[in-house]
Amino acid sequence: MRTPGWPRLSRWAGAAWAGVWTVGLLAPSAVGLADAADPWLAGAGLVVIGVMAVLAMMDAVARAGSRRPGLWPVVAVQAAITVALAFDPGLPWGMLPLLLAISIGCAISLRWAPWLIAATAVAAAVIERVEGMSWDGAVWGTGLTTLLAGLLTYAFGRLAYVITELHRSRAELARSAVTAERLRFSRDLHDLLGHTLSVMVVKAQAARRATTSDPAETERHMTDIETIGRQALSEVRQAVQGYRRSNLADEVAGCAEALRASGIQTQVDLRHDPMSDQQEELLTWVVREGATNVLRHAREAHHVSITTLSEGDGGVSVRIEDDGTAPPRADPTGAGLAGLGERLHGSGGTLQTSREPGGFRLDAFVPGEQGADHA
């Protein structure tokens, strides 16, 4: 698998450009072939070195730093011939280790490349010293030049790798943001329509029961169904456009009416101080989801209480209790109370549910601005 960089040129174009650099670095040795012990053998060695260097460098040159794994045999062949040519006393050799260091920086794994480049520079300096060059020339000429050329190539490859990873991370973050927004919207839509449809079902059941005994009551329930449907349509449009604003008092009143219409006595006790828009919206979702779960899941419930209370640091708590024989529960798909818990936790709040001997209790807390900052 190829490590991607920035696509720029074709591989053939990269090979051509790498060939220009290779020919330039091999030129001093090629010019001095006449002084080699065996010019034909040395010339063949230079050709093989050039081919191996182009193979090692062409992907990095064409694709701005990308590299193909598995090219170490190519670099190994180049290194072996480079070392072999070092023992020809008549051949100008100093640029060959520099070309080898560049090949290492282009083709070898980023983990091992700097160490191999340093080893190549040290070996080149030692060989030049053994061949009779002074330590100053061997170290500061051949050794340092080889080291800098290889490390510069390695640094360019590392930079290309980091930028590629940044592009990947940015793309992944974008995908994650889209997924999170989809989950948020689906959760909002579930919470919004789940409650509204539950109320409409309750109203329809009440209308059916009153059909024969009280036509006026039936008409009132049908009118309520129409009103609720129109309101739900408007709320869905507002939610899609991102302009929906929740009113806690209206929501509590609507939930209480729905619960009473289903035959459940509902007690409301609102004792909270003025709240921020975010607090009110979260508490509205709590009341909506809590009442919906009572309507759906609390069997034989006769009494429900909805209580709001101001806490310290500007926080507000909500408690919804019923005396049903089965507790409200989240949907298996993760909606319902699970989605409500995620919504609250994301704002520093908490959601707790407990089964009591006489029913089920839901406690939610939404912190004030100071409490949310510490969460």
Q: Phi and psi of 364, rounded to 5°? A: -130, 145
State the pTM of this model. 0.44
**CA–CA separation, 133 and 142 (whole Å):** 10
- What are the per-10-residue average pLDDT scores of the chain (375 residues)? 50 76 84 83 88 80 62 85 84 84 82 86 85 79 84 81 76 70 71 75 83 82 83 72 64 83 85 83 86 78 88 84 66 61 86 82 84 52
**CATH number of this structure's domain 264-375, picked from the four choices 3.30.565.10, 3.40.50.2300, 1.10.8.60, 3.40.50.720:** 3.30.565.10
**CA–CA separation, 223 and 216 (whole Å):** 11
Provide Rg for the chain, Cα atoms: 38
Element (H, E) at 297: helix 277-297
Count CA within 13 A, CB hemisphere, residue 308.
23
**CA–CA separation, 113 and 187 (whole Å):** 50
pLDDT at 333: 38
DSSP 90: T
pLDDT at 371: 53
157-173 pLDDT tens trace: 788 777 777 777 777 77
Would strands 303-310 and 265-271 be described as parallel, antiparallel, or unpaired?
parallel
Looking at the chain, which residues constitute the CATH 3.30.565.10 domain(s)? 264-375
User: What distances in angstroms separate CA 34 from CA 3, 29, 50, 78, 228, one per listed residue?
Assistant: 42, 10, 19, 22, 99
User: What distances in angstroms separate CA 247 from CA 260, 276, 278, 281, one per listed residue?
Assistant: 20, 11, 11, 7
**CA–CA separation, 333 and 311 (whole Å):** 33
**CA–CA separation, 371 and 317 (whole Å):** 13
Count CA within 13 A, CB hemisphere, residue 255.
31
Size (the chain), residues = 375
What sign for the dihedral angle of Cα 219, 225, 226, 227?
positive
